[in-house]
Amino acid sequence: MRTDRELTALFTGAIVEERPDPTFLDELFELLVEEVATAGPAAARRPRPITWWSRAPRWPLAIAASLVIAILAFAVLLHAPNVGPPPSPTPTPAPTPSASAVPVTPAPPLPTQPVVPSATLVPFTSTRYGYSLRYPTNWGTRPATATLDPTIYPIDTDPTVDDFSATVPAAGDPGLIVAGPAVPAGTTLAAWMTRIQQLQASGGFSCPPPQATETVQVGGEPGQLLTWVACPQYLLWAGVIHGDHAYHLILIDQYAVNNPEIQAADKALFLRILTTVTFSKALGSPAPS
C-alpha cells in the first residue's frame, strides 16, 4: 500500500506534466482501488462523525475521493483539443491611394487679354511724325502733342508718343506705341538699334539683350525687330530710319508673358501692322546737306 506522501507525489508529478502518459491513469486507478479496499472496512467500523473536526483521521478516504476527481479531470484534459487564446486579429492595411486617386491641383489659368484685337484694321496718320499705318478697329488712338527726344525712352503714357489700345486715353495692354524723333544726318540703322538696346538696359527696366533679332521691312525701308519676352512685359520693338527721322514702333502686352499663344497672335498682328506703314515725303526726306 502506498503512503499518503507517495500518492501525493505521484499526483503532483502528473499535474506538472503538460501531456501525461495515458498509462499513468491506469496505474492511478489501480492505486485508488487498492486504497479504497484497504480503507473500506476501517471506515465502516467507525461511527458516523457528528462534528467537522472528527473527519480529520479519515485521510485515506479523502485521498481516494480526490484521486477519482483528478482521474476524471485528467481524462477530460487528455482528450480535449488544445484551445489557446484567440489569435490576435490581423490589422487590415490602410488602402494605398492609387496615382489616379491623388487630387491634382490644377495649374492657374494663363492670363487672357481683356480685349482681343480686332482683325479689321482702320487707318491713322500722324502729321507730327510723318507716317501712316492701320490699327485694330476696336482700339482707340491718342496722338502725340509733343515731340520725343531721341535719347528718351518712349512710354505709352507720355504725350510725346502716338498711343493705340482698347483703353486709351488710359494705358492698357496690348498696346501700340509709335514715335519718330529727328536724328543727326547719317544715323544708320545699326546705330539706331544700338540706341534702342541702350534705352532698354538703362531706361529704368535694366533689361538684358533681346531674345530675338530679325530683319523686317517698314514702309519700304529696311528695319529690325527686337523681341523681349518679359522685360518690362512681352515687347516687340521695331526700329527704322527714314530720312532724318528714326522711328520706334513698339507693341507691348503684359498678358503675353508666359503665354505662347498670345505671343504668337501679338507678333502676327504687329507684323501685319508694319506692312501698312507709309512715310510722308515732306517730313521723311533726307535733311539738306
| Residue 205: CATH number of its domain | 3.40.1000.10
State the pLDDT at residue 203.
72
What whole-number distance in Å separates Cα of residue 145 and Cα of residue 283? 17
Sign of CA dihedral 199, 203, 207, 212: negative
Instruction: Determine the residue type at 274.
Output: L
- The C-alpha cell that represents 53 in the structure block: 473536526
* Residue ending a domain, choose from 23, 56, 79: 79
Residue 222 is assigned to a structural domain of this protein: yes
Phi-psi region of 245 (alpha: psi -120 to 50; beta: other; left: phi over 0): beta
Query: What does the block give as the cell for 145?
Result: 502733342
Residue ranges making up the domain that contains 242: 121-284
Same domain, 36 and 171: no
For residue 41, the tally of other CB atoms under 10 A from its CB is: 9
Tens digits of per-residue pLDDT, 6-58? 444 544 454 444 455 555 555 555 655 455 455 444 443 333 333 333 333 44
128-132, 201-205, 236-240, 257-261: range with lowest mean pLDDT: 201-205
Asked which of 21, 48, 79 is the last residue of a domain, the reply is 79
With a cut of 80, say whether residue 79 has pLDDT above it.
Answer: no
pLDDT at 196: 97
95 within domain boundaries:
no
Angle between helices 59-79 and 22-45 (to 10 degrees): 160
- Give me the number of domains the chain comprises: 2
Chain mean position to CA 238: 40
pLDDT in tens, 107-154: 666 788 999 999 999 999 999 999 999 999 999 999 999 999 999 999
Residues 153 and 29 in one domain: no
Alpha carbon distance, N-terminus to C-terminus of the chain? 155
Percent of the chain with pLDDT over 70: 60
Q: How far apart are CA 234 and CA 254, in angstroms?
A: 6
The answer to whether residue 100 is domain-embedded is no
**Candidate from 54-63, 196-205, 260-269 with smallest mean pLDDT:** 54-63
Confidence (pLDDT) at 76: 43
